[in-house]
Structure 1
């Protein structure tokens, strides 16, 4: 038992106040367990090498020992000791998974004849290809698993899972971020067990065809759905039923992202909970029709068990991806609470689900899927617990018009709250966030939950006896309306708000401040506004980079004083334009990419067939940038003189030591060390993709 210390010392008085506060918050302390574990995981990602990882774990253990000096029986002592140990455990946990589970990437690009067994198949009709994962022959010296794309024209049914294939391929190590802030596929591939990616070249020889049972239920179901609905409606219907998004066109996918409706395309809490809820209600109502069963059996327990079986089956059917598993775990916890007669929806449920995911998939913490899903659910529950929200939207005895109005108001307020909660996450990962998403979700979520998914489920059931056509018609019309809403919202000028790439510090401050606000209940929670507002202020005042260079040195974007952005190579594709636009704070959409002009046509630049020299006006001085854009040999003396006149030199080739600009040389040799680079000329600073001394296992030495 905690004994209050003497009140004649300032430290004792402060400690007594903290203990009284923690006593009032005693039910919320356990919610910090996954947060402390997550801090340890983040530390492993943030620190560069094993020596510092070990130092973090050891330092946390030492802190735990130091916190034991606090008075016995106090909640503060227990909280700090446990938190320090959990922070150490998080670092060790992700470090251990990286050592045991990950796949070392291919050392360098190779052109090789591959012979191996197909492990999985992922059709991508929208891209006119099929993606397969192959286990190559160990004698080839390749990673244990590689992923290659097979063009649609070369694909044959006998090349499915279990087939033994032989084909030529140019394999590449999984790509790191092309520019700072871009998607890190190398890290993701490492934990997926993929060591190389590439494209299979014809002819592809089938040494052993796939078994007759190769076609999984998921693929067959997706093909069946697309055969009943054509176009974008069929592609989205297949995604809702199976999680297979390969047939969704880039235009529809981009519209769903920009309108804030992309969460509907991934099997997540909405889909799993809708299915489980429907099964529980159906089983419960059917069993309650019998007075004997209603009086003699625990109907809720039986219905909850049926819902659990349906949820697990749906998770397995849709590929058992981590977001789906996470949603299924949360739904099972809710069912357990219902079956036991406990309050099923609470932040304890969210914390328990997060803890389970972090223990088994600690790498999921760094992805936007984990962060967005748990943030959205936590905000929903915290909002539902707020007294003012209950007073405003709670059911009461009144006319149907007022009830409908309160329901719409509740849906709108929750949409706004979720948009605000997800905005920092979207800005950190994608450098843009939706503004009109709450309005779009006001239509899309009820439409999907109460029309699309029930109609599609009935259509699939009716197809067993050949009577699904009417339900497919309803599903198609509802999905057409969903796509219409997505495209109309996405085309609005206020659909998205973009910011340039920023460090992880403001994001971390905003997340910690948000967690502090959500978890605590007393007035102390308002302290969370300090880091939240500080992080937002830093994020909003981050300058946009003046120059962005990709890691291969082939592409460079320059921002002029009037805001125009010009590309070194006008033929850069949509992908390059998208990642550069996102890093520069212009958004990653096609509109931003199309607005980028060619550097050769800019009045500030002088370009030959081999090189471009561009002058950027600054507030304190002008900057001269020299960039190569061909493979032609430049005369030695001309190159040396041009480098001497330039402040920055960019090239996709290795430049000689005699090429010495006044500030920075970013040639092939330097970019291999730094990766893609963002330059801030006013601050005379730059940031690169790679950190000095980074020894995470997916980083090539």
Structure 2
């Protein structure tokens, strides 16, 4: 066996390098998956043992390639785990323990205007009442309470309603608490009342203010939805984009166009590179004395860095410009810029600086799409398809268009598992839409925006802005057309981590090796697809606070315990985790439910068995004997408060005491399994379990369901 592996590695000296970056990423993922310090230390010890075992292999023997691969991969696995562990310790900020309304005083670090939501978002490093150390908090301020002097650097005093960073609402939901931990964010909330400016900001240059002025200028020149998207392209300010436009772009698979990342940075740098090299080639004196590729690469790098800083230097943008600078270096040195080794180097740089990015969809989707492009375009079938140079221009154009469509399809298929894992949804027609949208944006819209801004310096930008508006109207028309087609979006219930690992492992194997051996990557992909098809939609979803319950399997709509707003995060999270495209219907409006002011009771038939559910929704107190009798008739009881020990349902009591330990639940009644948020969190600092319940002192804490009140609905 080891001889076969040695021969395999020896035959692929240039394909082994990218796997070291993969090993670094796996080490980061292992830190997130393993529960706590003992497991992390054990993982590092295991990697050390692998290195020691590799060193025992004779370096001059016939297993030299296996030796180097074993040592290299073990070191990268350990390095990935150690880097993110160290960053978590250095920058991690624990959230506040509970919601509170307090006075805070501090300095505004960042200000973002979100015109579409009629609010301003402030990031403040503040002294918070009741906390010894300064905290970093993010607050929403209504537009009507905004003030001219409320900018970066201003010292402010205000009253705010603070919330701890929210853990995943349900298993598989977005983990904001983890993101806040690495951002050093201790709380989020809303400003209550007006803001007092204690000391104004010092006069001087501010990137955010300059960025805001640029966005305002673009929206002044171009009104409506095209203006908001043009402002996003020019300055990275997405706050004014209308909700329906953003949803249409998302469902059409075009959301990546709104975020300043690889596409935009590549377009800007490529435009600067080729424009520089073409213009300077017109002057023989320069062309004969200067290496134009080197000079053009320098100009492109400078423009790219300027654009990155201008648009806010967000992590995806910095990640993209790092990769682009490596490509420019390859071009300047005359090397192949489309190289998986080069891409692996860029990924390694990003993971060293932002290891936590590996756990999020932005990193995964960015690098997955580029890997797909490079692997597909450099594959033997693709090269053979485009190698017919003797054909006429019409045929060559047709081949290039077909190649473009196939590349889009490959990208869409590569991104689909990632989108389903993180968002529980994936666009079906995104490949076709991107074939039109990407060239439209990079070749027409962005150069026109640059031209319009340049002409504005002499007051002649109006015609260019008109052309920008028409191009963006076409983009929005395409997004709404594609998003409105039947079956444009595929919804799936939450994918397990193991299934996701099968997809990722298979796709990486398929992309990073060459020859027939790469086809083995289809095996784990097929297993992942089979596991995904066999995944059952949860029958009952319970939020981590017990306040919201969703019931599936009773028609196209999701039944919810409490009515939710049309555009609320709660409604979106419940529908996405249920894998449903219908609406959220209040349980009291469903004919199969029996509800009063205090409880709702339903009976569900799953797998040939009847399950009785009792869900608390009122605030009044209920007599313990009555509650105990109702619980005894129920299989599952859900409440957003602690229930007394007299409440003993047949299967599960999901009250505040239990949910404080488990987080949100996704219950499969047929298998009897309940997935929890806590099982994916371990002992990481961002997930806070409630302490075991203790009898409350008089006048302290919420009241349990205890004394007199109306009878709950019978569960007959």
1:664 correspondence with 2:655? no
- Measured in 2, the distance between the counterparts of 1:404 and 1:456 equals 28
The residue aligned with 1:646 is 634
Aligned to 1:160: 151
Q: Secondary structure at the match of 2:102?
A: strand
Partner of 1:36: 23
Deviations 1:460-491 (A, max 9, x none): 00000000000000000110110011011111
Equivalence map 1:75-94=2 (5 Å): 75-94=65-84
Note the alpha carbon deviations across 1:548-606, whole angstroms, 9 max, x for none.
0111111111123555521111245532111001101115xxxx3xx232211223211
Distance in 2, matches of 1:17 and 1:643, equals 62
The partner residue of 2:136 within 123, 139, 145 is 145
d(CA) in 2 for partners of 1:67 and 1:579? 47
CA distance in 2, matches of 1:419, 1:661: 46
Q: 2:677 aligns with which of 689, 693, 696?
A: 689
What CA distance in whole angstroms lies between the structure 1 residues aligned with 2:111 and 2:591? 50
Q: Tell me the secondary structure at the aligned position of residue 159 of structure 1.
A: coil
Structure 2 partner of 1:7: none
Mean Cα deviation higher: 641-650 or 603-612: 603-612
- Aligned-partner Cα distance in 2 for 1:422–1:139: 45
Q: Which residue of 2 aligns with 1:106?
A: 96
CA separation of 1:602 and 1:138: change in aligned 2, threshold 3 A? closer
Aligned counterparts of 1:143 and 1:507: Cα–Cα separation in 2: 39
- TM score, norm. by length of structure 1: 0.95
Deviation at 1:268, TM superposition (A): 1.2
Q: By how many angstroms is 1:306 displaced? A: 0.6
Alignment match, 2:430: 437
Which of 103, 106, 112 does residue 122 from structure 1 map onto?
112
What is the CA–CA distance in structure 1 between the aligned matches of 2:91 and 2:681, rounded to whole Å?
Answer: 23
- The answer as to 2:258 corresponding to 1:288 is no
Mapped to 2, the partners of 1:281 and 1:379 lie a distance apart of 25
User: Which residue of 39, 49, 54 maps to 1:67?
Assistant: 54
Q: Which residue of 2 aligns with 1:366?
A: 359
Matching residue of 1:202: 193
8 A contact 1:560–1:617 mirrored in 2: no
202-211 or 508-517, larger mean C-alpha shift: 202-211
- Name 1:579's counterpart in structure 2: 573
CA distance in 1, matches of 2:168, 2:354: 22
Residues 105 and 128 of structure 2 are in contact (CA less than 8 Å); yes or no, is this contact kept in structure 1? no
Give the stretch that moved more between structures: 232-241 or 58-67.
58-67
How far apart are 1:217 and its partner, in Å? 2.0
Residues 563, 546 of structure 1: alpha-carbon distance in 2 compared, 3 angstrom cutoff: farther
* Residues 81-90 or 409-418, more deviating: 81-90
CA contact (8 A) 2:604 2:611 kept: yes
Shift of 1:276: 0.8
More helix by share: 1
Uncovered stretches (5+) of structure 2, i.e. residues with no partner: 690-716
Which whole-Å CA distance do the structure 1 matches of 2:456 and 2:139 have between them?
A: 35
When the two structures are superposed, what TM-score results if normalisation uses the length of structure 2? 0.93
Q: Which residue of 2 aligns with 1:614?
A: 602
Instruction: Pick from 451, 463, 477 the counterpart of residue 456 of structure 2.
Output: 463
In the alignment, structure 1 residue 53 sits paired with structure 2 residue 40: yes
The 1:65–1:492 alpha-carbon spacing in structure 2 relative to 1, beyond 3 Å, is same
1:177 paired residue among 168, 173, 194 = 168
Q: Aligned to 1:520, which of 513, 522, 526?
A: 513
The residue matched to 2:288 in structure 1 has which SS?
helix
Task: State the alpha-carbon separation in 2 of the partners of residues 599 and 189 from structure 1.
Answer: 34
Could you say if the C-alpha distance between residues 632 and 417 of structure 1 is closer, same or farther in structure 2, counting changes exceeding 3 Å?
same
Mapped to 2, the partners of 1:68 and 1:114 lie a distance apart of 57
Q: Does 1:334 align with 2:327?
A: yes
- How far the C-alpha of 1:196 sits from its partner, in A, is 0.6
SS at match of 2:495: coil
Shift of 1:692: 8.6
Contact 1:101 1:191 in 2 (8 A): yes
The answer as to 2:659 corresponding to 1:634 is no
Q: Is the 8 A contact 1:126 1:247 kept in 2?
A: yes
CA displacement at 1:37 relative to structure 2: 0.8
Distance 1:260 1:571 in 2: 27
- 8 Å CA contact 2:110–2:124 kept in 1: the answer is yes
- Cα distance change, pair 139–395 in 1 and its aligned pair in 2 (3 A): farther
1:551 aligns to 2:544 (yes or no): yes
Q: For structure 1, which runs of at least 5 residues remain unmatched after alignment?
A: 1-13
Moved more, 133-142 or 637-646: 133-142
Query: Aligned-pair distance for 1:431?
Result: 0.6
Cα displacement string for residues 654-687 of structure 1 (whole angstroms, at most 9, x for unaligned residues): 1111111111011112111111111000001101
Structure-2 change in CA distance of 1:395 and 1:352 (3 Å): farther
Deviations 1:579-636 (A, max 9, x none): 001101115xxxx3xx232211223211111101100012231000000111111222
**Residue of structure 2 in register with 1:451 after alignment:** 444
Matched residue SS, 2:40: helix
Secondary structure of the residue that 1:137 maps to in structure 2?
Answer: strand
Give the whole-Å Cα distance in 2 for the aligned partners of 1:394 and 1:552: 60
Partner SS, residue 465 of structure 1: coil
> Deviations 1:423-465 (Å, cap 9, x if unpaired)?
0000000011111001111111111011110111100000000
Conserved in 2, the CA contact under 8 Å of 1:551 and 1:672? yes
What is the SS of the residue equivalent to 1:427? helix
Q: Distance in 2 between matches of 1:99 and 1:27?
A: 36
Would you say 1:261 and 2:254 are equivalent positions? Answer: yes
Q: Do residues 187 (structure 1) and 181 (structure 2) align?
A: no
What is the total number of aligned residue pairs between the two structures?
682
- CA positional deviation for 1:526: 2.0
The alpha-carbon deviation at position 118 of structure 1 amounts to 0.2
Contact conserved, 1:25 with 1:522, CA < 8 A, in 2?
no
C-alpha displacement at 1:503, in angstroms?
A: 1.3
Aligned-partner SS, 1:617? strand
In the TM superposition, 1:592-603 aligns within 5 A as 592=582, 595-603=583-591
Deviation at 1:115?
Answer: 0.6
Greater shift after overlay, 560-569 or 657-666? 560-569
Does structure 1 conserve the Cα–Cα contact (< 8 Å) formed by 2:297 and 2:331?
A: yes
- Which moved further from structure 2: 358-367 or 137-146? 137-146
Equivalent pair of 1:550/1:675 in contact (CA under 8 Å): yes
Distance in 2 (alpha carbons) for counterparts of 1:167 and 1:160: 14
Kept in 1, the 8 Å contact 2:228–2:240? The answer is yes
CA contact (8 A) 2:369 2:415 kept: yes
Whole-angstrom CA distance in 2 between matches of 1:633 and 1:34? 58
Does the 8 A contact of 1:616 with 1:623 survive in 2? Answer: yes
Residue equivalent to 1:134? 124
Q: 1:233 to 1:520 in 2, by over 3 A?
A: same
Distance 1:486 1:527 in 2: 36
Deviations 1:52-107 (A, max 9, x none): 11111111111221233434341111101111121111111100000001212112
- Does 2:339 match 1:349? no
Matched, 1:409 2:396: no
Distance 2:485 2:11 in 1: 47
